């Protein structure tokens, strides 16, 4: 049996910017948080430039690209404006996420099946620019198969419904969402896609999903920013890394 892939931790700094924007000044600085997270062991930094700029702003994205030493994962909607900004920023990766209701599947991921005509040239242009494209989708077989047909090299499985069910103590729903993720990760890997996961993860859910050998990267933000208020960001990154390593140690092929 093959050994599981190394598992990267991408730290999402959006909500450092949420806190900054609450007072409209310059502190806390999401770039400072990114540098600290990297020093503590993050393998990359994720930031989402939303159309309403409610947290990360254009200048944050430019500074992240200029100042961090690890890969920048630029989350954005598939719009012409975002294409222009991402091509100018030249991040390591772009993760395409839904921004409006009509772009969403019922499970919350980007509806790549419904939007494949619009997404195909968008993905091709980013591929041509040497930017690794990831599609944030539900672990739904039709969405995964379309992601592969669209020639996106990566998908990020939306873990929000699973994490919500775990948090609400809905055991049956949590189990069915988990099984969907397990099957989706295997299907995506078999289709040649690199598989990431994220949304709503905490130490326990990150440890559990780290045991899936197909998963190469977890992108985690909100929970870590909340924990950082109590124990500091560096400690939070180290604790998350340890949880992921424990989980990966249980992955099939690592035993």
Catalytic residue among 15, 55, 75, 158: 75
Q: Is residue 97 involved in binding ligand PXP (CB under 6 A)? A: yes
* Binding flag, residue 104, ligand PXP (CB under 6 A): no
44 binds ligand PXP (CB under 6 A): no
Beta strands in 110-170 (DSSP E): 132-137, 154-158
Catalytic, out of 199, 207, 217, 227 = 199
Find out whether 73 and 41 touch, Cβ atoms under 8 Å. Answer: no
Buried b (16+ CB within 10 A) or exposed e, 47-69: bbbbeeeebbbeebbeebbeebe
43 makes contact with ligand PXP (CB under 6 A): no
| Selected binder of ligand PXP within 99, 111, 156, 177 (CB under 6 A) | 156
Residue 131 Cα to chain centre, angstroms: 15
Contact status: 140 vs ligand PXP (CB under 6 A) = no
Q: Considering the rule CB under 6 A, would residue 55 count as an interface residue with ligand PXP?
A: no
Task: Please identify which residue in 5, 17, 75, 237 interacts with ligand PXP, judged by CB under 6 A.
Answer: 75
Cβ of residue 224: shortest distance to ligand PXP, in angstroms?
A: 7
64 binds ligand PXP (CB under 6 A): no
The nearer residue to ligand PXP, 103 or 253, going by C-beta atoms, is 103
* 12 touching ligand PXP, by CB under 6 A: yes
The residues, any chain, with a CB within 8 Å of residue 154's CB and separated by 6 or more, are 93, 132, 133, 134, 135, 193, 194, 195, 196
Q: How far is CA 154 from CA 42, 82, 102, 149, 229, in A?
A: 19, 19, 22, 12, 32
Q: Is residue 55 annotated as a catalytic residue, yes or no?
A: no
By CB under 6 A, is residue 200 in contact with ligand PXP? yes
Does the annotation mark 199 as catalytic?
Answer: yes
Contact status: 220 vs ligand PXP (CB under 6 A): yes
Q: What is the CA radius of gyration of the chain?
A: 17
Among 74, 178, 203, 223, binds ligand PXP (CB under 6 A): 223
Active site residue 207: no
Q: How far apart are CA 17 and CA 30, in angstroms?
A: 6
- Provide, rounded to whole angstroms, the least separation between the CB of residue 108 and ligand PXP: 10
Residue 100 is classified by DSSP as S
Q: Are strands 154-158 and 194-198 parallel, antiparallel or unpaired?
A: parallel
Active-site residue numbers?
A: 48, 75, 199
Q: Could you list the residues that contact ligand PXP (CB under 6 A)?
A: 12, 14, 48, 75, 95, 97, 136, 156, 198-201, 219-223
């Amino acid at each position: 049996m093959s050994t599981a892939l190394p598992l990267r931790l991408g730290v999402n700094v959006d909500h450092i910017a949420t806190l900054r924007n609450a007072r409209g000044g310059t502190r806390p600085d999401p770039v400072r948080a990114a540098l600290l997270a990297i020093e503590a062991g993050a393998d990359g930094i994720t930031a989402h430039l939303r159309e309403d700029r409610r947290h990360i702003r254009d200048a944050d994205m430019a500074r992240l690209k200029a100042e961090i030493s690890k890969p920048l994962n630029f989350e954005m909607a598939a719009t012409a404006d975002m294409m222009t900004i991402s091509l100018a920023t030249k991040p390591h990766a772009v993760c395409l996420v839904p921004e409006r209701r009509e772009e969403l599947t019922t499970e919350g991921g980007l509806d790549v099946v419904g939007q494949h005509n619009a997404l195909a040239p968008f993905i091709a242009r980013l591929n041509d620019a040497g930017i690794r494209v990831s599609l944030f989708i539900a672990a739904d077989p039709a969405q995964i198969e379309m992601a592969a047909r669209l020639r996106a090299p990566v998908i990020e499985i939306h873990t929000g419904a699973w994490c919500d069910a775990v948090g609400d103590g809905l055991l049956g729903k949590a189990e069915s969402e988990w099984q969907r993720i397990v099957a989706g990760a295997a299907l995506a890997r078999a289709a040649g896609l690199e598989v990431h996961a994220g949304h709503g993860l905490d130490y326990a859910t990150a440890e559990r999903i780290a045991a899936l050998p197909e998963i190469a990267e977890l992108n985690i933000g909100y929970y870590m920013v909340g924990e950082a208020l109590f124990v500091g960001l560096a400690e939070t990154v180290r604790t998350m890394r340890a949880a992921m390593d424990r989980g990966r140690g249980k992955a099939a092929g690592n035993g």
